[in-house]
Amino acid sequence: MPTMRAMLLDAAHSPLHLVKLPIPMPGAGQVLLKVSACGVCHTDLHILDGELTEPKLPLVLGHQIVGRVVQSGPGSLHFQVGERVGVPWLGATDGTCRYCLRGQENLCDHPTFTGYDVDGGFAEYTLADERFCFSLPTAYSDVEVAPLLCAGLIGYRTYRMAGENVETLGIYGFGAAAHIITQVAKHAGKRVYAFTRPGDTEAQAFALRQGADWAGDSTQLPPEKLDAALIFAPVGPLVVSALQATHKGGVVVSGGIHMSDIPSFPYSLLWEERVIRSVANLTRRDGEEFLALAPQVPVKADVKVFALEQAGQALEQLRHGQFTGAAVLDLNLT
Ligand SMILES: [Zn+2]
Ligand SMILES: [Zn+2]
């Protein structure tokens, strides 16, 4: 039986380790992909740390997958062999629950998440439901486009939830999603204020290079009030900081899947029609819209590349904020 290299998670808190697994066979509606690149996301860290509590185990992480179709399962007609596709976090839905029927498939009652409910892209091959794969813009290399598949498109959904009337945008937590969304927001003519961990002057310099108008510590107030704030760090107190920085009617959107507790705060911070909301997952429409928009901006992700075997190191460096931009496993490196 032909095998592939994969980085396997046996249980929460145990390090990923390199194994040989059988190359899976595509079932009905699936495609088998040869993975060329896979982004590393904070959600992977939440799974590793047991903060997302119900992963399939053992598990291959990774939900920003760029690969080429090597085989189609029975009835899979959408993509040709050799075609390049992207696989995001939303791997499948039931298509029948109240949310799916209302066009809110991101909230599906029975979703399948890539690299959580099914094996993902920290491996040489993976399976995907072809209905949830994206065609990818040709302007990007495999490594460049990988971070657009989660940091980019969930970042974009978060940005969209801030609404139309935004001239001043705050971004809290300046990593993969933030640097992509800063480029999108500047392209749309907004003023962008970037907030980092206190004292992280490297991330602040990075934010300014991405086009932010100002960068400072998350404990600071921006030089002018914000119409909206996006939070990409899993740190509950940032919700209160962001509320303090917003105009009347301002919107605070949390883009992460997990966050530490939000401390209590006086009602006066929420008063005057300020709004706090979260963003969960993505719809295929988000992906199509963002992947069409990205080359027009053009979004250019700042990528730190790791080999497949270095997936564990990539996650630890992400945890400790040891690089700027987005981490990507390049399957062509050994
Ligand atoms: Zn992600
Ligand atoms: Zn559903």
Distance CA 40, CA 63 (A): 8
Cβ(40)–Cβ(311) below 8 Å: yes
Expressed in angstroms and rounded, the spacing between residue 119 Cα and the centre of ligand 1 is: 14
Expressed in angstroms and rounded, the spacing between residue 239 Cα and the centre of ligand 2 is: 29
Q: What is the pLDDT of residue 334?
A: 73
Which residue is associated with the tokens 């109240």?
98
Per residue in 217-239, pLDDT tens?
A: 999 999 999 999 999 999 999 99
Q: What percent of the chain is modeled with pLDDT above 90?
A: 98
Per residue in 280-301, pLDDT tens?
A: 999 999 999 999 999 999 999 9
Q: In a 3-state reduction of DSSP, which class is residue 301?
A: coil
Ligand number with the minimum distance to the CA of 255: 1
Q: What is the pLDDT of residue 76?
A: 85
Q: What is the pLDDT of residue 1?
A: 85
Q: What is the pLDDT of residue 143?
A: 98
Expressed in angstroms and rounded, the spacing between residue 155 Cα and the centre of ligand 1 is: 10
Ligand number with the minimum distance to the CA of 112: 2
Distance CA 76, CA 94 (A): 18
Ligand number with the minimum distance to the CA of 318: 1
Expressed in angstroms and rounded, the spacing between residue 85 Cα and the centre of ligand 2 is: 23
Ligand number with the minimum distance to the CA of 110: 2
Q: Which two tokens stand for residue 76?
A: 């899979």
Ligand number with the minimum distance to the CA of 101: 2
Q: How far is CA 149 from CA 62, 146, 223, 243, 282, in A?
A: 11, 6, 32, 29, 10
Distance CA 155, CA 178 (A): 7
Expressed in angstroms and rounded, the spacing between residue 1 Cα and the centre of ligand 1 is: 32
Expressed in angstroms and rounded, the spacing between residue 67 Cα and the centre of ligand 1 is: 17
Expressed in angstroms and rounded, the spacing between residue 98 Cα and the centre of ligand 1 is: 25
Q: Give residues whose Cβ lies within 5 Å of ion ligand 1.
A: 41, 43, 150
Q: What is the DSSP letter of 117?
A: T
Expressed in angstroms and rounded, the spacing between residue 106 Cα and the centre of ligand 1 is: 14
Q: What is the mean pLDDT of residues 100-118?
A: 98
Distance CA 221, CA 327 (A): 29
Q: What is the mean pLDDT of residues 87-113?
A: 98
Q: In a 3-state reduction of DSSP, which class is residue 186?
A: helix
Q: What is the pLDDT of residue 196?
A: 97
Distance CA 37, CA 214 (A): 33
Q: What is the mean pLDDT of residues 111-124?
A: 98
Q: Which of 62, 122, 147, 140 shows the shortest CA–CA distance to 325?
A: 147
**Residue 29 in this model has a pLDDT that exceeds 90:** yes
What pTM does this model have?
A: 0.95
Expressed in angstroms and rounded, the spacing between residue 43 Cα and the centre of ligand 2 is: 21
Cβ(276)–Cβ(243) below 8 Å: yes
Expressed in angstroms and rounded, the spacing between residue 176 Cα and the centre of ligand 1 is: 10
Expressed in angstroms and rounded, the spacing between residue 175 Cα and the centre of ligand 2 is: 31
Expressed in angstroms and rounded, the spacing between residue 97 Cα and the centre of ligand 1 is: 24
Expressed in angstroms and rounded, the spacing between residue 114 Cα and the centre of ligand 1 is: 10
Cβ(304)–Cβ(323) below 8 Å: yes
Cβ(130)–Cβ(29) below 8 Å: yes
Q: Which two tokens stand for residue 199?
A: 């004292």
Distance CA 55, CA 48 (A): 10
Q: What is the pLDDT of residue 157?
A: 97
Q: What is the mean pLDDT of residues 260-273?
A: 98
Expressed in angstroms and rounded, the spacing between residue 106 Cα and the centre of ligand 2 is: 8
